[in-house]
Structure 1
């Protein structure tokens, strides 16, 4: 596929050791050569070579920047096109000056968000699941999430989907033979073949969907709200988990006035922590706004860490919160366990099991190991699956797998109900097309644009 030539800054804007500008397209090498002064002629240079030189303003010959220029000729590049990467000094000014000169070349334009990865997809170097894994790599919040995304970028999920589609193609071919040669009277055998192959495909889809909940957690993190009445240690808990003083801690109730958000990894489990304002009745206008925001965060949370002060008797505000949290996934944290216990845990028995109660001291940072184990039990059945497992974490993929399974179920039900085989064929073909939409074999251009618009500029 022939496209125009694009350029963009591929590294984060700001101070750093180096910055990289990526150029991709048919004129990437020749247009870059017009600005590059070096002892070597990069127009004829072999692929995957690095060249030292300077970027020169063609108007007056002024040296603009000292760079390293890397050449990767298509199709042996990320986009499968000719690619040039210019490594400049880090910093906003240097990289912008070089990019501005490149864009002054008539055949180079600024890249759209995700356009380099989009070209890799359009040029057949990667499929759509691999392309989507690129953004998961960038947004990974934990080592395990990164590993899952890397496996998908390498094609682990694609291979499973392609195997499934191949099985359905064989099934469709068998059905076609039955439709084209009805005189052989093999309908009963064909029906049994369809049922067997459809059950096998459904079983494989079920195996993939079984990983969906854990995969989504690894990809997005568990939205975790830290709640409790004022001054029970919520902000201190956040600081202990983050290992940084992100929240102001004082003895004054109502210090936290807004929801503070932080990402952490606890024993390989990514958590999106929301430290909320203490929930209580108050006449303070600003604190009341914080309390309302806390209630909103509470509704959005996948997990609630309910902090109680173990050094005080249960407060009426604690009891009100316990009522509000009924039916929600809650872990009770009895803070200040380093002090004499004054809270009667028997009052908690009507709401929480002993397994969901963690005694801890945020001050001494004890009890965090126990908290990790309880979260692991609650969301992963005690332990994370093997790192070799192919997880499904993308909502689009999960939806299409459910749709494909439903189509195969419709096909099996149609056979049981004596529906003609040419109607059954429609359901099987629909499942095949839905799986194809996962990897991009059959997908609307508008959806492709929507997917790649989520990428950052330069990727």
Structure 2
């Protein structure tokens, strides 16, 4: 583990130019370093109250040179992000200025912080648990508003409180078992049927929480959507419509798209990589053959296939080939060019597509007018989430948490089996201890040093 008896410093704002840049210092020498570098009136920073902001000048004590005008923010332990004394120098956001200020802090006794070390210290000092610390990284990396809300919820402790409640349920069951061992004369023999029902209920709650992880992962990590179909059905137009910008070249000439075009979008709060592909068909053109091969490869890597058909022309052998390529995976079928189809013909096309779609949703849409686009986005979001829109307050977004919940549920299932066989109570406690340890890994009570370091090494420096 890293030591807490030294002082760390880092640039806390992203690289490059900006209006403001922040150098953060935390540890026992933070106030002394501020006293050395920052001048503002007659009162030294170490004499200021916590949560104070002061305007002043940063100086190089070795030369007397004024480095920058800055704001100093001071937070005294334990009421700071890390739980230690923290000072932040808000300077002009030029790289040269920030590097110079950081260099001065290091010269005055700080060392350069490791990735995630400020948040690691917050965890080690009890300012947050491990799940909350991971949520800090999720907040920084959130690509949509929905992902941001989930990360904020986790950082505020919603998941931690639910995991803590489940741990207390397991502790209560374990206490009942151990009481029957240690105080059998007073409490009587273990009530195996009641315990089995209790464990089954707890396991169901653990499994329900783990079941939110599929949707949670989608909101956190996003999905890849491959737009496939025969040439000239409007795949590139549909990509542009989803992006709300003209990204892909659109012409009436079949086969215009030869290579993959991949762009980021947000669909119902889900981060999406939308991939426009070459039209899938048999061709003698060697360049187009490469494009078709890449389209099939993109489809293999995709989480969801958006199969595009022409609402005017109806079903063709080319549509059959594209549909066969997308068979066996999550898919949404889009009948494009609905604005050009007569109403009676459109209804027949929709019915035909539903017969062939194998249960995949079919949406009539116009990439040109935007009609049906909201319904298409809703269908894509449902396909990405496999229909599992999370309604619970606590949602699991982290693979590590989901795996810990699965192990907890497995241990509880073993405890149930032991209880059903009316085996000695001390065997039941072994499985219950396994469930407790697995749940404790989520919030950090039982996480190993190796796990903790693996988590924080993925953070950025300065956070």
Say whether the fold is shared (TM-score over 0.5). Answer: yes
Question: 1:130 deviation in Å?
Answer: 0.6
Q: 1:299 to 1:355 in 2, by over 3 A?
A: closer
Deviations 1:407-442 (A, max 9, x none): 111111112113211111100111111111111111
Correspondence 1:187 to 2:192: no
Other-structure match for 1:58:
61
Secondary structure at the counterpart of residue 262 of structure 2: strand
Other-structure match for 2:417:
413
Residues of 1 paired with 2:100 and 2:20: CA distance?
14
Question: 1:15 deviation in Å?
Answer: 2.8
Tell me if structure 2 keeps the 8 A contact 1:355–1:374.
no
Tell me if structure 2 keeps the 8 A contact 1:257–1:287.
yes
Residues of 2 paired with 1:284 and 1:447: CA distance?
53
Tell me if structure 1 keeps the 8 A contact 2:354–2:360.
no
Tell me if structure 1 keeps the 8 A contact 2:150–2:395.
yes
Residues of 1 paired with 2:65 and 2:256: CA distance?
57
- Structure 2: give runs of 5+ residues left out of the alignment: none
Tell me if structure 2 keeps the 8 A contact 1:376–1:384.
no
Other-structure match for 2:33:
31
Alignment of 1:34-49 (within 5 A): 34-39=36-41, 40-49=43-52
Tell me if structure 1 keeps the 8 A contact 2:116–2:456.
yes
Question: 1:456 deviation in Å?
Answer: 1.8
Tell me if structure 1 keeps the 8 A contact 2:32–2:46.
yes
Tell me if structure 1 keeps the 8 A contact 2:280–2:321.
no
Tell me if structure 1 keeps the 8 A contact 2:180–2:190.
no
Q: 1:364 to 1:398 in 2, by over 3 A?
A: same
Residues of 1 paired with 2:288 and 2:62: CA distance?
61
Deviations 1:182-225 (A, max 9, x none): 55682243x24532431231132133123222222222223322
Equivalent pairs counted in the alignment come to 456
Q: 1:357 to 1:26 in 2, by over 3 A?
A: same
Residues of 2 paired with 1:124 and 1:262: CA distance?
41
Selected match of 2:361 from 356, 359, 383 = 356
Secondary structure at the counterpart of residue 30 of structure 1: helix
Alignment of 1:193-212 (within 5 A): 193-212=194-213
Other-structure match for 1:68:
71
Correspondence 1:82 to 2:99: no
Correspondence 1:432 to 2:436: yes
Q: 1:18 to 1:258 in 2, by over 3 A?
A: farther
Question: 1:104 deviation in Å?
Answer: 2.8
Residues of 2 paired with 1:233 and 1:431: CA distance?
52
Residues of 2 paired with 1:79 and 1:286: CA distance?
57
Residues of 2 paired with 1:269 and 1:93: CA distance?
38
Other-structure match for 2:274:
273
Residues of 2 paired with 1:232 and 1:100: CA distance?
59
Other-structure match for 1:325:
326
Question: 1:391 deviation in Å?
Answer: 0.9
Question: 1:271 deviation in Å?
Answer: 2.8
Correspondence 1:399 to 2:403: yes
Residues of 2 paired with 1:289 and 1:64: CA distance?
57
Residues of 1 paired with 2:154 and 2:328: CA distance?
35
Tell me if structure 2 keeps the 8 A contact 1:230–1:278.
yes
- Structure 1: give runs of 5+ residues left out of the alignment: none
Other-structure match for 1:149:
151
Deviations 1:52-102 (A, max 9, x none): 112222232222211111011111111111111111112333222222322
Question: 1:396 deviation in Å?
Answer: 1.1
Tell me if structure 1 keeps the 8 A contact 2:236–2:248.
yes
Correspondence 1:373 to 2:378: yes
Residues of 2 paired with 1:16 and 1:203: CA distance?
50
Mean CA deviation greater in 336-345 or 291-300: 336-345
RMSD between aligned alpha carbons?
A: 2.7
Residues of 1 paired with 2:315 and 2:38: CA distance?
73
Other-structure match for 1:9:
11
Q: 1:291 to 1:3 in 2, by over 3 A?
A: farther
Residues of 2 paired with 1:250 and 1:15: CA distance?
40
Tell me if structure 2 keeps the 8 A contact 1:68–1:88.
yes
Mean CA deviation greater in 354-363 or 83-92: 354-363
Selected match of 2:103 from 96, 100, 105 = 100
Question: 1:286 deviation in Å?
Answer: 5.5
Residues of 2 paired with 1:335 and 1:117: CA distance?
49
Secondary structure at the counterpart of residue 34 of structure 1: helix
